[in-house]
Amino acid sequence: MRNALRAEARRLLSRRLTVVALLVLFGMVALFQLEVNSQITPPSAAEVAQTQAEYDQYQRDWEANHETWEAECLDSGGAPDECAVPPPEPADWGLGPTSFREVVSGAVSFAVYLTGLVLFVALASFIGAEATTGSLANWLTFIPDRRVVLTSKLAVAAVFAVLVGVAATGLTVAASSVLALVHRQPLTGLEQLVAMAGRGVVVVAVLGVLGFCVGMLTGSTGASIGVLLGGLFLTYVRLILSVTARWAEHLAPWSPEVNLTAIVHAGTTYPVSAGPGTDPDSATVAERSLSLAHGLGYWAVLLVAVIVVTWLVFRRRDVS
């Protein structure tokens, strides 16, 4: 087994697609730091003066007219909570400091999902190319035990996904922290961001292993990419249906992407319509919570099921 693990690691790291995927991934993660830098950089004195003038003007308009605005909204049939016009807040106008936690949370999410998608394709290609070219059949002549072959490949894929996930999320948090210190911004919520990055590594590993299994089941890199695009399309369809049909709102707790979000953010919420009627547009909207435990349990069960199916198919498949 040890020799098989070393051989699989060398095969994965020697593939040109793996190297190109890593270069593209870390290049895009580094480029996203330009956006982090622009959000963390304090505004210039001229920008502050212009924004302050606009804020003062709107505040005067709000004090003079907000009751009229609310009354007109109510007369047109709007609900009281929808028609309420809150007073302007300096932070909403960019006059307050930008939260380091808020900015870097978006950067970590970007790094997690980008890394997961890149590894899905790279690891699907890792096994899909072997099945397509016939090298998998050749490999079985050296190691006839298919349990050893699949276990070694799957273990290398999982460890590789974890290491790349740690590197991508760690680079994001570290680089963002350096930029914040350069601009003398406080590192608010750094511990929570580190924990978020750690949970993100779990998501990266899940997507990487899922890509490997899909590549093994389809036996083709192109088909694996097709499965990924199909999953993204179904996600889009579900989101559209959740706006137009009340029954579709209740699919959210069993949707893969919502449970991934619950893992990354240690829980999430999703909207559901409340009250009578079947049209979501005419109903009040309430939020329901989805816990971190639910997200972890959902993906643990799903991933185990996919791995078992992958083993059953590989055990009986003719790879010659």
pLDDT tens for 105-137 read 999 999 999 999 999 999 999 888 777 776 776
d(CA 119, CA 212): 9
> Can you give the pLDDT at residue 95?
60
Let me know: does 263 contact 108? Beta carbons within 8 Å: no
Q: At what angle do helices 100-133 and 256-264 cross, to 10 degrees?
A: 130
> Can you give the pLDDT at residue 93?
66
* Partners of residue 274 on adjacent β-strands: 284
Average pLDDT of 49-74?
Answer: 79
Number of helices (H) and strands (E) in the chain: give both, helices first: 12, 2
Q: Tell me the pLDDT of the chain averaged across its residues.
A: 84
Average pLDDT of 19-33?
Answer: 94
In 3D space, the residue among 197, 215, 316 whose CA is nearest the CA of residue 266 turns out to be: 197
- In tens, the pLDDT along 156-196 reads 999 999 999 999 999 999 999 999 888 888 888 899 999 99
On the CB side of 55, CA atoms within 13 Å amount to 16
> Can you give the pLDDT at residue 185?
85
In 219-250, which positions are buried (b, 16+ CB within 10 angstroms) versus exposed (e)? bbbebbbebbeeeeeeeeebeeebeeebebbe
Question: 172: which 2 tokens?
Answer: 């994001």
Average pLDDT of 36-59?
Answer: 78
Q: How confident is the model at residue 59 (pLDDT cuts 50, 70, 90)?
A: confident
Rounded to 5°, the CA angle 53-59-60 comes to: 95
- In tens, the pLDDT along 278-307 reads 554 555 667 788 899 999 999 999 999 999
> Can you give the pLDDT at residue 137?
67
Task: Tell me which of 90 and 320 has the higher pLDDT.
Answer: 90
Q: Which sequence spans correspond to the domains of the chain?
A: 2-42+99-316, 57-93
Average pLDDT of 136-140?
Answer: 67
Let me know: does 39 contact 100? Beta carbons within 8 Å: no
d(CA 203, CA 196): 11
Beta strands (DSSP E) in the chain are 268-274, 284-290
Q: How confident is the model at residue 96 (pLDDT cuts 50, 70, 90)?
A: low
Average pLDDT of 24-40?
Answer: 91
Question: 212: which 2 tokens?
Answer: 């490997």
Percent of the chain with pLDDT over 70: 87
